[in-house]
Amino acid sequence: MRRLPLVSVLAIALASCATAPTPAPTPAADAAARVPSQLPRHTRPLHYTIAIVPDAANLRFTGTTTIEVQVLEATDTITVNAAELDFREASIASYMEDGRISPIGSATREVRVDAENQTATVGFGHRIEPGRYRLRFDYSGKINTQAAGLFALDYHDESGPKRALFTQFEAPDARRMFPGWDEPAFRTPYDLSVTVPAGQQAIGNMPEAGREVQADGSAIVRFRTTPAMSSYLLFLAVGEFDRITATAAGTEVGVVTRRGAGEQGRWALQSQVQILPWYNQYFGTRYPLPKLDNVAGPGTSQFFGAMENWGAIFSFENILLVDPAITTEARRQQIFEVDAHEMAHQWFGDLVTMAWWDDLWLNEGFASWMATKATAALHPEWEPLLGRIDGREAAINLDSLATTHPVVQHVTTVEQISQAFDSITYEKGEAVITMLEDYVGEAAWRSGVRAYIARHRLGNTVTDDLWGAIETAAGRPITQIAHDFTLQPGVPLIRVESAQCAGGRTQIALRQGEFSRDRPDKQPLGWHVPVIAAAGGAPARTLVEGGAARLAVAGCGPLVVNYGQTGYYRTLYAPPLLARLTENFARLRPLDQIGLLADNWELGLAGYQSPAAGLDLVEAVPADANSRLLTRTASILIQVYRMYEGDPAHEAMVRRWAAAKLGPALRQLGWSARPGEPANDAVLRATLIERLGDMSNPEVAAEAARRFAANDPSVVAGPLRETILGAVAYNADAATWERLRVMARDERNPLVKGQLYGLLGFVRDEALARRALDLALTDEPGATNASRLISAVANVHPDLAFDFALAHRERVMGLVDASSSSRFLPGLATRSSDPAMVEKLRDYATRYMTPQSRGAADRAIAAIEDRVRVRTQRLPAITRWLEARRS
């Protein structure tokens, strides 16, 4: 699964708790037997045949599921997972010697439903002996309006209102469409069929095997049998679709959209054509299914952007389709990267699957890492490796607070599974894999991955299976390093205590501590930390063990530790060393510039050094810097700007500084694309307009307003449309906001509509923000846009949004996916700087959250306390620096 893109999230910026101790990983052989589970192990499924008849208009469906099972120990009951299914009938039959089946007892069996544990138990009234049986369930269920189980997405096209159906089963929601063993270790083949109304299509994991047209024009569509796979990867979609296809290395790839939007999938299709052969080669195993679709769903989710169902990826439209009217360059790049992420899962996750959710990180961290790697290989001009630092920073941001958790976390409940999808799982996972790949070398790492895929194909694994394969390929141990970074939480701090030049070499002394924003005095944990350093000559490597290391590097130039930024740690330089780097900043490589800036800004905020060190580096960023360095500079400037909320004099001071730092680059780029310009220039242009607009930069706000009032072509359509409208919305007065609202209401294109409703919430004026919140509870925005609107308000007015959502809790929760329910409200509050919010969140958690699900609230509290602490303790020094700069 791919979470929402970093740029547009806040709700998913926090989650999870997992204070339970992490058990040592178990070997793969007995993994399935030892994973925690709600289901007894005396019976296992061998094959499913599932027939679904949707009644889309009434949001109900009927289903028949027949499961071939193996009973391993005599039992008088069988328990399966089931959620919100109404059972009409259940029966069991045994296999005769000749392969025929023979019913046991009466056709109808009692089914006991345990709603809380999401199970159903069939009783037989007597013991059945070990052997093969056929279990059959007839039932009906609910079609949801949020992405869980079988769900509906409504939209309009030229011919009127439409409803399409899709499934979303990860982590534990297959049980909402069929009863069964809804745990990843149970791999079986599936035969799926669905009754489709006349004029509609169905998409499944596999190509269609046959179609039986009924008297009323509907058709029963049967899909080919899947390979043995986990329940969470099964997929079904039904609706009025277009499907465009191409062939990549002999495999049919397709993009499926609502009818009429097929061509908008062209970019994604071309991306798949590029990516699939590259993965065939990297993994050393060909893509294993006959086809690979990517299916676009109208609307958005608070929880995720895309899902790696085997052979039938699902993506929300905004992360799959390119609409020339609105798609930004950044989004085009993101569509490629998300496609690459989901396609990596087709091997790593689908062909080889984690045995249990404890190892979700490996699935997600690997797919994130692989997506960056494939993007760097196929689109080096986008410089995705520089973007990796954004992921590292997102992870450290969570991992440096007491509320963090280890990458590998022990998961026992449904709620904990959904909370596990956080920046630690994804971005720290990617960062740790990046570090380990760099440690063993690219070729050895790839050999290890190939061996792992070949050995475990169609099987389940634990994390140590991968470490073992890499060690064998590399001929050197990595398990200790890997365990240090995955089984214990937190961020190492590497202090560069001294550096002496002698004989053309620099002798450096390193000491390992721990970077913590809320417990600076805590006793540091110990890590084995791979460190690379360079001082103008060839880089040198060492492994910091036992808390310290010495290293000699060639050259006597400015010393860069974490050279290449592949290490997951912060680097704290002795002041003279940092001063030298600051002086020579413009001459460093962009990767190291970005890493150095990020490290030193955060070290200053956390009190390890003066915040002036980071501000000096911001000042040292040249006007013609790499676009990603300017992007990071802009994000620091806006962070400083927001610290002065309610202090207009200092806000103005930061606004002027930002104009001086970023204005020249925007003037150089202009507001219109130049023919043949690099793709990242287009990204930077949008970023600069957005960031300066968010600081109410007078020139940017005026230019955006002018274009909006004049109905300039750039506002009507094109890659800057969203950016300009964002600047307009943020600085809007009532009349402007109303005009935007009418645009949103009248818009038919669901992609554009969603975007416009998001913008309506992103408004500086508090009275307008209140109107946006009220609007979210009307029928106007539509179910999936309403929560987006509330989240947008929370970006600017977190306290207002939280108070509103709390006052209308029942209705607001109805707008959010079940999987986001425990994190949505805390997510709204997380940007607050008000100490009073801490108490409000504690109170909320006590009233509405179970101890297992309060992780999201705890993390929001930690983030707010950190922000309050920074304002109290660091802002005075930042103010002194700003005032000295002015004079």
| Residue numbers annotated as active site | 342
Do 816 and 146 touch, CB atoms closer than 8 A?
Answer: yes
Give phi and psi for 331, each to the nearest 5: -70, -35
Minimal distance, residue 174 CB to Zn ion, in Å: 17
Using alpha carbons, select from 324, 199, 222, 226 the residue that is nearest to residue 266. 324
Minimal distance, residue 532 CB to Zn ion, in Å: 29
Q: How many helices (H) and strands (E) does the chain have?
A: 30, 30
Instruction: State the Cα–Cα distance between residues 534 and 553, nearest whole angstrom.
Output: 6
* x/- map, 456-485, Zn ion, by CB under 5 A: ------------------------------
State the residue for tokens 């929001």.
860
Do 857 and 842 touch, CB atoms closer than 8 A?
Answer: yes
Closer to Zn ion by Cβ: residue 339 or 703? 339
Half-sphere exposure of 133 (CA within 13 A, CB side): 24
Minimal distance, residue 426 CB to Zn ion, in Å: 8
Q: Does 861 bind Zn ion (CB under 5 A)?
A: no
Give phi and psi for 853, each to the nearest 5: -105, 5
Minimal distance, residue 341 CB to Zn ion, in Å: 6
Structure token digits, residue 289: 């299914």
Give the interface size with Zn ion as a residue count (CB under 5 A): 3
Closer to Zn ion by Cβ: residue 408 or 828? 408
* x/- map, 330-349, Zn ion, by CB under 5 A: --------------------
Which residues lie closer than 8 Å to 474 by C-beta, 6 or more apart? Answer: 440, 441, 444, 445, 448
Closer to Zn ion by Cβ: residue 1 or 148? 1
Distance from chain centroid for Cα 724? 26
* x/- map, 352-371, Zn ion, by CB under 5 A: ------------x--x----
Minimal distance, residue 514 CB to Zn ion, in Å: 29
Taking CA atoms, 842 is separated from 38, 184, 290, 402, in Å, by 30, 35, 51, 16
The angle that helices 442-456 and 463-474 make with each other, rounded to 10 degrees, is: 130
Closer to Zn ion by Cβ: residue 687 or 819? 819
Instruction: State the Cα–Cα distance between residues 204 and 421, nearest whole angstrom.
Output: 25
Minimal distance, residue 287 CB to Zn ion, in Å: 17
Minimal distance, residue 516 CB to Zn ion, in Å: 29
Question: Distance between terminal CA atoms of the chain?
Answer: 51
Minimal distance, residue 364 CB to Zn ion, in Å: 5
Minimal distance, residue 295 CB to Zn ion, in Å: 16
Do 693 and 299 touch, CB atoms closer than 8 A?
Answer: no
Residue 556 is given by DSSP the state -
Closer to Zn ion by Cβ: residue 317 or 350? 350
Taking CA atoms, 196 is separated from 207, 276, 334, 452, 676, in Å, by 15, 30, 33, 40, 47
Pairing of the two strands 312-316 and 291-297: parallel
Q: Does 306 bind Zn ion (CB under 5 A)?
A: no
Closer to Zn ion by Cβ: residue 48 or 314? 314
What residues pair up with 59 in beta bridges, in sequence order? none
Minimal distance, residue 345 CB to Zn ion, in Å: 5
Give phi and psi for 305, each to the nearest 5: -105, -35
Closer to Zn ion by Cβ: residue 1 or 269? 1
Torsion angle of the four alpha carbons 780, 806, 2, 253, in this order, in degrees rounded to the nearest 10:
-20
Minimal distance, residue 308 CB to Zn ion, in Å: 6
Q: Coil, strand, or helix at residue 385?
A: helix
Sites for Zn ion among residues 123-162 (CB under 5 A): none
Q: Does 870 bind Zn ion (CB under 5 A)?
A: no
Structure token digits, residue 189: 């083949």
Instruction: State the Cα–Cα distance between residues 829 and 806, nearest whole angstrom.
Output: 11
Closer to Zn ion by Cβ: residue 366 or 730? 366
Closer to Zn ion by Cβ: residue 339 or 858? 339
**Which strand (E) or helix (H) includes residue 879?**
helix 875-886
Do 1 and 364 touch, CB atoms closer than 8 A?
Answer: yes
**Number of Cβ within a 10 Å radius of residue 157:** 16
Closer to Zn ion by Cβ: residue 318 or 731? 318
Taking CA atoms, 356 is separated from 28, 33, 360, 364, 532, in Å, by 11, 11, 7, 13, 35
> Which range binds Zn ion by CB under 5 A, 1-9, 312-320, 325-333, 722-730?
1-9
The correct pick among 1, 10, 352, 499 for binding Zn ion (CB under 5 A) is: 1
Closer to Zn ion by Cβ: residue 368 or 416? 368
Structure token digits, residue 76: 């008088």
Q: Which residues bind Zn ion (CB under 5 A)?
A: 1, 364, 367
